[in-house]
Structure 1
C-alpha cells in the first residue's frame, strides 16, 4: 500500500494559502488539511484549490477543517502560518502577543488529539512562537522546526549574487540568530564551492571585496522592501516553509539555517534560534556550530538576548500553563 503524505496548514492568510498552493503545485501532498477561524475565507480557498486540481501534478484530498484542529492530528507535518500581518508593520515583534494568543488556541488541542508529526512554524516572532509550541505541547523539541532565517539566508545569498555575478545556488551563506532585526550574517563562513570569501577577496578584491555590512543589512531588511508595496510578504516565506516540509516528507537530511532549540550551541540554550540544521523525517536531526569570529559570536549572544526579552514579555502564564516540567 502506498504511503499517504498528509500535511496540515493552520491559517489561510497570505502566507498559509501560498504554502498550500505550493504543496499542491509541487505534488508534495496526498491529503491537505486546512484550518482558519475565518470560515468564508477558508471555504473560498478550499474551493479555489479544488477547482485547480486538474492542473496540479496529481490528485489530492483537500479537507476544510474549519477550527476543528483535532482533525490535524494524523498529519505528518503541520505548518503554523496563523498570525496578523498588519501587526508586523513596524517589525516582526509587533505580532508577539497576537500570534502567541492564537497559538494557545490550538497547540494543546492538536497535542491532546495525538499529533506525533513535525511542526513547521512560520508565525512571527518565529523563534518565540517555536519556543511556545515546545512549552505548551511538551513534544520533543526536535519535532519543532521554525522557518527562522531560512528566508533571510536566501536574501543574503541573493545580495551576494548581485555583487559577484555567481548563482545563488552556488553560494553558502547564512543569516543566524533571530528571525528579526537582531539577526546577523556569518560572513566569515561564506564560501563559493570550496573557496572561502576571504580567499576570493585576496585573489579578486575588485569582485569579492564588496561591503559585507551592506549585504547583511540588505538581507535583514529585505522583507520590509516587499512589505512596503504589498502590505505583506508571501511568496518567498511560503517557499522557505515548503522547502522544509519537502525535506521532512522526503527524509532528505537537508542542511539549511532554521530555528531550533539551542542546547549549548555558541554557549546558548533554552530558546529557539536559527543556526545551520540537518532536516529530515523526524525534524531537526543535527545542528552545525559554525566557527564564528568575535564580532559574530557577540551578535549571536545579543540576538538570543533579544529573543529572551520577547519571551519575558509574555508574562507568568508560561509558568502556570506550560506542560514542560
Structure 2
C-alpha cells in the first residue's frame, strides 16, 4: 500500500472512530493526531489502542501525536473537534456553534501557515457553518474544503424508503439537501427506484409513501442515537471514511456533502448540503437536481437559516 497521509483534529467519540475505521479499512497508513493540550492523555490512549490492534491487520499503520503545524504534508485532514456534551437537553446541533467556532479560530491560521494544500473534510457541527468558516480561513482552491453535511441523513432516508418499499437501498436514489439540521428537506423529485420516479413507483406497487413522515424520521434519527448514549460515532465515522476513500481513489462519486455554492440553486457564498462529484481534488462539481417550486422555497429557507447562523 502506498503512503496516504491523514490528519485528524479532535479525538473524541467521532474522531477516534474515524481513526479506527480508516486504519481497519486500509484507507490510510500514516496518521497524525491533534487535540487540545488537556486531552493529550486520551490521544496517547487512542493511539496505543489502535497500535495494539495492528498486529491483526494485513497492512502497516503508522500513528503519531502532533501539533497543528505537523499537518502541512497531509493528503486529507478530518476536522472532528466538538463539545458533544453541549447537545444534552437540546434538539439542535447549533449548541456546539460557540465552542467549535472558537476552536477553529484558535488553529485555523496555524493550519494555513503549515502549508497544508490537501483536502479538508469537516465533521464538526453545525457542519455548514463550520465548513464555511474553515474554507474562509484556509483560502484553498474551491472544493478542497467540504463537510459531511447531509450524507448520513441521506443514508437514513434511503433506509426508511427501503423499509417502506421492500426495495434494496442500493436501488434507491434519494437525497436530503439543505442545512445539516432541522431544516433539511427530502425533495420528492430526487427520489427514484432504479429509474422509476417516486410517483411511478407508487403507481406500479399500488402503495403511497408518507414522505413528510419519512423525511422527519431521516432528520431526527440522529437524536435517537444521541439521546440514548449522548454521542454519535459509528455511522458518522463511516460517512467520513467513505469520503476519504472517494478522494484517495479519485472515485468521482456523486454524494451529498456540505458544498460551496456559487450560483448553483440560485445561492451564493454558502456551504449547503447538496449532491456533488467527489474525487481526488475534493468537490469537483455541484450537481443541481430539479426541485418543485415548494421544495425550492424550503431549500432557500434552509439557506437563510445558515446565513443567520453565520
| The two structures share one fold, judged by TM-score above 0.5 | yes
The correspondence of residues 161-200 of structure 1 with structure 2, limited to 5 A, is 161-200=162-201
Residue deviations 1:180-207 (CA, integer Å, cap 9, x gap) = 011010222101111111111122232x
Provide the C-alpha distance between the structure 2 equivalents of 1:269 and 1:55, rounded to a whole number of angstroms. 48
Asked if 2 retains the 8 angstrom alpha-carbon contact of 1:26 and 1:57, the reply is no
Q: Is 1:30 aligned with 2:29?
A: yes
Residue deviations 1:254-289 (CA, integer Å, cap 9, x gap) = 110001111111111101001110000110001110
- Pairwise CA distance, 1:3: 3.8
Provide the C-alpha distance between the structure 1 equivalents of 2:119 and 2:213, rounded to a whole number of angstroms. 36
- Pairwise CA distance, 1:88: 2.4
Provide the C-alpha distance between the structure 2 equivalents of 1:205 and 1:9, rounded to a whole number of angstroms. 48
- Pairwise CA distance, 1:57: 3.0
Provide the C-alpha distance between the structure 2 equivalents of 1:295 and 1:137, rounded to a whole number of angstroms. 36
Provide the C-alpha distance between the structure 2 equivalents of 1:88 and 1:292, rounded to a whole number of angstroms. 32
Q: Is 1:134 aligned with 2:132?
A: no
Tell me which residue corresponds to 1:316. none
Tell me which residue corresponds to 1:114. 115
Tell me which residue corresponds to 2:278. 279
- Pairwise CA distance, 1:56: 2.2
Tell me which residue corresponds to 2:257. 258
Provide the C-alpha distance between the structure 1 equivalents of 2:60 and 2:250, rounded to a whole number of angstroms. 22
Q: Which consecutive residues of structure 2, in runs of 5 or more, have no partner in the other structure?
A: none
Tell me which residue corresponds to 1:69. 68
Tell me which residue corresponds to 1:103. 104
Tell me which residue corresponds to 2:153. 152
TM-score w.r.t. structure 2 length? 0.97
Provide the C-alpha distance between the structure 1 equivalents of 2:30 and 2:73, rounded to a whole number of angstroms. 10
Tell me which residue corresponds to 1:94. 95
Tell me which residue corresponds to 2:16. 17
Tell me which residue corresponds to 1:238. 237
Tell me the secondary structure at the aligned position of residue 141 of structure 1.
Answer: coil
Tell me which residue corresponds to 1:47. 48
Provide the C-alpha distance between the structure 2 equivalents of 1:49 and 1:110, rounded to a whole number of angstroms. 25
The correspondence of residues 211-250 of structure 1 with structure 2, limited to 5 A, is 211-250=210-249
Q: Which consecutive residues of structure 1, in runs of 5 or more, have no partner in the other structure?
A: 312-325
Asked if 2 retains the 8 angstrom alpha-carbon contact of 1:126 and 1:147, the reply is yes
TM-score w.r.t. structure 1 length? 0.92
Tell me which residue corresponds to 1:317. none
Provide the C-alpha distance between the structure 2 equivalents of 1:177 and 1:280, rounded to a whole number of angstroms. 22
Provide the C-alpha distance between the structure 1 equivalents of 2:195 and 2:141, rounded to a whole number of angstroms. 35
Tell me which residue corresponds to 1:319. none
Residue deviations 1:235-271 (CA, integer Å, cap 9, x gap) = 1111111110110011110110001111111111101
- Pairwise CA distance, 1:81: 0.3
Which range moved further: 56-65 or 241-250? 56-65
Asked if 2 retains the 8 angstrom alpha-carbon contact of 1:127 and 1:272, the reply is yes
Tell me the secondary structure at the aligned position of residue 184 of structure 1.
Answer: coil
Residue deviations 1:105-133 (CA, integer Å, cap 9, x gap) = 22111110100100000000000001101
Provide the C-alpha distance between the structure 2 equivalents of 1:56 and 1:278, rounded to a whole number of angstroms. 31
Provide the C-alpha distance between the structure 2 equivalents of 1:11 and 1:107, rounded to a whole number of angstroms. 13
Tell me which residue corresponds to 1:322. none
Residue deviations 1:162-183 (CA, integer Å, cap 9, x gap) = 1111111211110000100110
Tell me the secondary structure at the aligned position of residue 217 of structure 2.
Answer: helix
Tell me which residue corresponds to 2:83. 84
- Pairwise CA distance, 1:141: 2.9
Provide the C-alpha distance between the structure 1 equivalents of 2:13 and 2:64, rounded to a whole number of angstroms. 19
